Amino acid sequence: GALAAFFGVPLGGSLFALEVASRFGVEYFEHSMEAIFAGLICVVAFRSLAGLELEQIWATQDSPTILHCEPSKILLGLVLGCVGGFLAFLWANFHWRLMGLFGRLGLLDDNNTRALPRALVGSIGIISIGMLIPHTMVSCTRSE
């Protein structure tokens, strides 16, 4: 809730707090509704006690509200949100299949006795991605 109030966004702050505490992905997923609700209550309480309106944090005179938006842009946001949700579903599915593979290979344990082989398998995967798509491995910019 505190992160939601700090950032001013109940959904993002709550999910970020769940993500930070997670070790293997969405292990706290079953608590997401409670976290989002708590984040919403925290945002409303904070903004009310601070005497602030319930609006986006970085509001300017030119910032449109949802009442002033074109319906086509709202529908576009809905479509993009659904596409993003579907991509998240694919990513989570890939993640759990990968965790299943790691489990079958005996690379997952609670004592981290298999951490080195797990890191080697992960590095082989990252290097393979880098060889297929080289520009994903560059982390600097060229200034001329």
For the stretch 16-72, pLDDT in tens is: 777 777 666 556 667 778 888 888 888 888 888 888 877 766 667 776 677 777 889
The two tokens of residue 29 are: 């997923």
Given a contact cutoff of 8 angstroms between Cβ atoms, the answer to whether 98 and 104 are in contact is: no
Question: In angstroms, rounded to a whole number, what is the distance separating the alpha carbons of residues 81 and 88?
Answer: 10
Helix ranges (H only) for 50-70 are none
Counting residues of the chain whose pLDDT is more than 70, the rounded percentage is 84
pTM for this model (two decimals): 0.53
Question: In angstroms, rounded to a whole number, what is the distance separating the alpha carbons of residues 144 and 85?
Answer: 39
Residue 114 has φ and ψ, to the nearest 5°, of -110, 25
| Residue 142 pLDDT exceeds 70 | no
Question: Residue 144 CB: number of other CB atoms within 10 A?
Answer: 2
Nearest by Cα to 16 from 39, 47, 49: 39
Question: Residue 1 CB: number of other CB atoms within 10 A?
Answer: 20
Counting residues of the chain whose pLDDT is more than 90, the rounded percentage is 18
| Residue 77 pLDDT exceeds 60 | yes
Supply the pLDDT for residue 76.
93
Choose between 14 and 120: higher pLDDT. Answer: 120
Residue type, 76: L
